[in-house]
Structure 1
């Protein structure tokens, strides 16, 4: 996307938090064992407020959205919801001047570099590419996001060199649809078959077909998170979120990072074939004719740290 239509905004410089965060050996072990790690107050309040304001500005058309894509909640649109109240999330926010400050936040990149360092031993040498970015709004009345694995959506590998960062912008709790995880599920090294499941038939919202066995209720851990708290998780970790049954939105911001040593793979004939077809079909509708799944991710990714990557 060209940034010519976006007003250049001054970079936010926060004096509230240091620019680095050293992950302890105990935290690294917890991530290895469980497939996720919650870091309290990783992102400062000033930054969170700027992301929330930017989202509102984009929804109201005050600023040019560029290539940012709106994902609306069909049931709410059908009930007459308008504007922010109908938007489930926006995607491909990485080229926006404000949202990019989250994706390229030095403190966040320092943490990510420690979780997926690749072959280098020096954190400063780790190369990172932002591959998938979202600001999630989850208005009142939004349904659940069924259990799934993020690797299902990605045509690049290896899995252990990919990590998601998901930061609470608002207080996130059970009633407004908190994330839940199935600790240790990544260690099976299994990518489940996904598809349209009960209570969820929106495009690109596939869930694990073996839901009862892959994500039994008694193994789900719901994450109660305060603004600024950030969960980082492995792309094979089984996770999802519940419905928002409150009267307030539940905002969060997220980015998936890949180490520069990652490479694209062909997913044809695999369990990923159904989602690849949907992603390509959506890209074609948006003007990316004859694009492959790999082409889509090349278009919507951005190198954010270190030397140029394979992606």
Structure 2
């Protein structure tokens, strides 16, 4: 017998509730105090498998990469490696029909909304491959790259697709570093990828301050844009795949970074855009590549 409208509405509400992830007071307090929060098994195997298969399709050229950019690991290219073995990441994936199942996943948006509100724009996204032999990502702060504020209305999600360990280069964080409300000067880090900048203050390289975030597939960490973090080199024989995105509230606004420690980021990103044939400003690169994923059209 066909379901009545009332039954259909109830079933739809049940399905919607399944896609929600309501944070406890303790979880919210942990994030506020430490600048990050790990939620175990937020994504299931089928969802992760779909994302991994899409990466392989793009890496092999079986599907059009569209607006995405493939970034290869310079160290591995010099060794003559090709294809998946040399790809560090694919970035700006939030316009892809498959990858957007992550960046716009209802469960993910549910968590994000509890931190930055219901008007959400995805600003940046990456599928990270990290093959064996990949170099470290030095300590840095994501806000260094962002010409929008306030920082409290910006957040990142990072989900493990493979098992992530210290051996294959898991993330590390310095808990409570966001509480300083300080954006460190960054510079070009030696022996790392192009546009990988590292904090110049040597105090953040004290590994005794680092907390290593070993994670299982589906585990997801959310973190503040001023949190000092990075990742180690992959010295294992297996890949370390993950997917990540940065989000901002629609209430955010763009700022002028002239005369600040962010001038280097602005210069490098504008130069990279020009190399690709786009003569656009630092702010415009973010305006053009971002996408509204929840709520009304934002200031961004």
Counterpart position of 1:265:
255
User: Which has the higher Rg, Structure 1 or Structure 2?
Assistant: 2
Alignment of 1:124-143 (within 5 A): 126-143=118-135
Alignment match, 1:19: 19
Alignment match, 1:150: 142
Q: 2:163 aligned with 1:171, yes or no?
A: yes
Question: CA separation in 2, counterparts of 1:75 and 1:18?
Answer: 44
Residue 75 of structure 1: CA displacement? 0.7
Residues of 1 paired with 2:297 and 2:128: CA distance?
A: 29
Match for residue 293 of structure 1? 282
How far apart in 2 are the matches of 1:215 and 1:189? 18
CA distance in 2, matches of 1:217, 1:68: 34
Structure 1 residue 300: Cα displacement: 1.0
**Partner SS, residue 18 of structure 2:** coil
Q: Report the equivalent of 1:183.
A: 175
Partner of 1:3: none
Cα shift readout 1:249-275 (whole Å, capped 9, x = no counterpart): 100000100011001111111101011
The gaps in structure 2 that reach 5 residues or longer are: 1-14
| Structure 2 residue 225 is the aligned partner of structure 1 residue 206 | no
Q: Say if 1:182 and 1:215, in contact at 8 Å, map to a contact too.
A: no
Answering whether residue 74 of structure 2 is matched by residue 74 of structure 1, we say: yes
TM-score by length of 2: 0.93
Q: Report the Cα distance in structure 2 between the residues aligned to 1:53 and 1:300, rounded to whole angstroms.
A: 24
CA distance in 1, matches of 2:78, 2:176: 39
Distance 2:77 2:205 in 1: 30
> What TM-score do you get using the length of structure 1 for normalisation?
0.90
Q: 1:247 aligns with which of 217, 237, 240?
A: 237
- Cα separation, 1, equivalents of 2:233 and 2:62: 29
**Residue number in structure 2 paired with 1:235:** 225
Which residue matches 1:49?
A: 49
| Residue in structure 2 matching 1:280, options 265, 270, 279 | 270
Q: Is the 8 A contact 2:122 2:292 kept in 1?
A: yes
Paired residues of 1:58 and 1:65 also in contact (CA < 8 A): yes
1:176-195 CA-to-partner distances (Å, cap 9, x unmatched) read 00000000000000000000
Give the deviation of 1:287 after TM superposition. 1.8
Secondary structure (helix, strand or coil) at the match of 1:258 reads: strand
Aligned pair partner of 1:303 in 277, 292, 295: 292
1:196 is displaced (CA, Å) by: 1.5
CA distance in 2, matches of 1:60, 1:243: 24
Specify the alignment match of 1:111 in structure 2.
111
Check conservation: 2:189, 2:196, Cα contact below 8 A. no
Residue 36 of structure 2 contacts residue 221 of structure 2 at CA under 8 Å; is this kept in 1?
yes
**Structure 1: unaligned runs, 5 residues or longer:** 1-14, 118-125
Q: Which residue of 1 aligns with 2:5?
A: none
